[in-house]
Chains A and B, each alone.
Chain A
Amino acid sequence: MALHTYRIAREPYYCPAGDEIALFEAAHADRLPVMLKGPTGCGKTRFVEHMAWRLGRPLVTVACNEDLTASDLVGRYLLEAEGTVWQDGPLTLAVRHGAICYLDEIVEARADTTVVIHPLADDRRALPLDKRNELVTAHPDFQLVIAYNPGYQSVAKDLKESTKQRFAALEFGYPAAAVEAEIVAHEAGIEPEVARRVVAVAERSRNLRGRGLEEGASTRMLIHAGRLIARGVAPEAACRMAIVLPLTDDSDLRDALAAAVGACF
């Protein structure tokens, strides 16, 4: 079928931090559009993948960027030898055939792009394709999920009120230390004790949030550090490579953070 390649075959690992799975299932049962908020690398995308697998739905993911136009989402006419042919965009694909459509970093997209999803995110559940003069009614399985990081939020890049108010929201944060250590140990394949140390490094960097760092180390960064450790890199060097250096260019902060990493091992 059209969405065959979008099915998730194996269970993506996800360690729940609260009741988010039950809440999402409830929202999905009614096909309510859901918005996932949270800092980068805290597991939003993984959560959606896990839920798509759990609910047995195909998942169409679109990473939004500044250049993403409405046609990139809904589709466009392409040229063929005989003339033009319509090509559905990822959103239209999901709407037609019934998938979870996940728009990542939605605020990055241009304002005209976000408006496209409005009729899908209310009780109309339809997608007008003005170029084709077609109204695509959403498949009963279609669900819209968007994610954004309120940390970047600025006036220029905020969701419109009219967009926000169409969604139910789940808030994500970095998991509690014990849970995060479990995730790092699982994903990176390192000993739980080492994972706990790596998480301690993350806490150090998160202490500096707003005091020089825009954001502390994400769970994703910790997993990267953990993978380096699993490859035999010394923990301090791994944390320096995967956490300290990517986080900041400020030499004082880097120095302080490196010293704090030293305190963790």
Chain B
Amino acid sequence: MDGVDGLIALADVERRLRAYGTALWGVDPPLRPLVGEGDPAALRPCFDADLVRLPAVWPSLALYRAALAHVGAHRMFSRPLPAKGLKPLLTIVVSLVEDARVEHLAMRRLPGLRRLWAPFHRVEPSPSLMAADLLERLARALFDAGYRDGNAWVDKGQRLFFERPERWENPNFSLALGGDLAGDLGKTRVQINARGHRVDPAYRDDNGGLWLYDTPPEPPRDADDPLEAVRPEPMEGEGNRRNGPPQALPAPAPLAAAAETTALRPVARYPEWDHRIGLHRPGFVQVVECEPEHQPPMDVPADHRLAGRVRALIRHAVVARPERLRRQREGDALDLDACIAATAARRHGHAPDMRVYRRVRRRGRDLSVLLLLDASHSTKDPVGDGTVLDLERRSADLLAGALAAAGDRFALAAFRSDGREAVHWLPVKRFAEHYDAAARGRLAGLDGRWSTRMGAAIRHAGTTLAAQPTLRRLLLLVTDGEPSDIDCPDPRHLVEDARKAVRELAGRGIDVVCVALGGDARTHHRIFGRRNVLPVDRVERLPEILPTVYVRLTG
């Protein structure tokens, strides 16, 4: 675990630290790295209501743990106090008493924390009257009731602190005792450098989180951009990100249109069904592939429970379930019912059926899935605190993460159309690719535009799926509306074309299922067949529903 110079990196131990902090206190604040000049051992953690900052590199895992346990105790038992009008010396001493108070409260619940913190209280009695020395000795005296210092001020603090432990419960205790002690220290004219004061021992935070300042104190130097600060638990497939350089924000796109045209690449022409003449119009529609813009992968406040549930659900479905085969010619165990039937038959003088064994076989999953998202203009409609497309993206991300973890073959793409010459196909993840940060970036970069020429998209999806060497192939289409395009005045035309496309795919052994987020149910039934439409009545629930749908279809 030790890196160079005997230092370890937060990034290497972040996951286990978070689990440790969560186990101790039941809350999981995001951890952010803290970078500073000079000796990393001199850095002190800090925290506020939302996150905890720990030095990016530090001498030991035990120090990280001690710091996290200490910050957790503050978050559990401390209430921030207004700092206005208080002298720096007072805030320092009150903070010190508060540190001791919350640690003792924490140790009442978790006595083993004493063994975690004690090794850092190493200061010994000395005649030094320097403020920093006195404070560090007071810190030890308040932590360790058995410590004997000899200095009158330290001893007084220790005596008053341990005199009535029941007062520790009262948050104002620190203010009262700290005020008293700070007054004494002020009278001795001990010089204290309030600005340069460094809290000791090293695991204790800088106490910034204990005070409410009118103007925020010096903003802590952060290792990466503020957007990152609210990052929830890393999603599956994101594991390598934290080691690499932070994702740069993309340069503002010069002109969306210009950027778009460079990426367009015609990939196929497909016929379109004309229901009035009952014939295909050959090569009528052109599909162009366009790489979605890269965006930093979205960091929605992921619901841990949901993410965990989805992962479990998919894993459960993917791990091939055993299949019992009865009445086999050979097998691992006797099929009792078959044996009895055979023996009964023999006694009756009939020829017995000798298939009397049973065995268990693991059924492999021979399946490819293409998840196709509707990225037309209507997906920009607001839902909850985002848009329909946001929900599509979030659901797709959740599902894709779980599928990638479980190892199912899948691809992810989106479509929209701008007339018959430009049906856009936006590949997010191809079958051969990994669902990595780049794919998540492409997913985040999808935006809603233009129309929904569904037939061509379904045919192109069919071409992609047909190339997959699996027995079952499934197209899962998520749409919020009905087929339409600017060059089609007859609404029935594209509906009939989409219906035809679905049937063509069915003819090639590809199942098409539509997850309908809105639109006319009858139209969807017409296109996909009643059985293959899964209406989602509340779009907000899509992230929960989509994985369930997947499992139901493929399990």
Contact = CB atoms under 8 A, between A and B. Distances in A.
B20 A260 contact: yes
Interface string B460-483: 000000000000000000000000
SS class, residues of chain B in contact with chain A:
helix
Interface stretch (B109-117, B377-385, B498-506): B109-117
Interface residues of B, number: 43
Contacts of A83: 344, 347
A11 interface: no
B382 to A, nearest CB: 30
B336 interface: yes
B110 A78 contact: no
Contact of A208 (B23, B233, B316): B23
B551 A66 contact: no
B22 A263 contact: no
A264 B110 contact: yes
B340 A253 contact: no
Nearest to B316: A154
Contacts of A13: none
Interface string B64-98: 01000100000000000000000000000000000
Interface in A188-209: 197, 200, 203-205, 207-208
A265 B23 contact: no
A224 to B, nearest CB: 19
Interface string B232-245: 01000000000000
Given A154-B551, A155-B548, A211-B28, A260 B340 contact: no
A255 interface: yes
A56 interface: no
A76 B22 contact: no
Interface string A221-263: 0000000000000000000000000000000110111011111
A84 B340 contact: yes
A18 interface: no
A79 B334 CA distance: 14
Contacts of B28: 211
Contacts of A259: 20, 65
Nearest to A205: B23
Interface stretch (B216-224, B250-258, B305-313, B410-418): B305-313
Among B20, B111, B308, find the residue whose CB has the most chain A CB atoms closer than 10 A.
Answer: B20
19 contacts: A66-B322, A79-B339, A79-B340, A79-B343, A83-B344, A156-B555, A197-B111, A203-B26, A205-B23, A207-B22, A208-B19, A208-B23, A252-B19, A253-B16, A253-B19, A260-B24, A263-B112, A264-B111, A265-B112
The 10 closest A-B pairs by CB, nearest first: A256-B19, A260-B23, A256-B20, A252-B16, A207-B26, A263-B112, A204-B23, A263-B110, A210-B305, A252-B15
Interface of B: 15-20, 22-26, 28, 65, 69, 109-113, 115-116, 233, 304-305, 308, 312-313, 316-317, 321-322, 324, 336-337, 339-340, 343-344, 347, 548, 551-552, 555
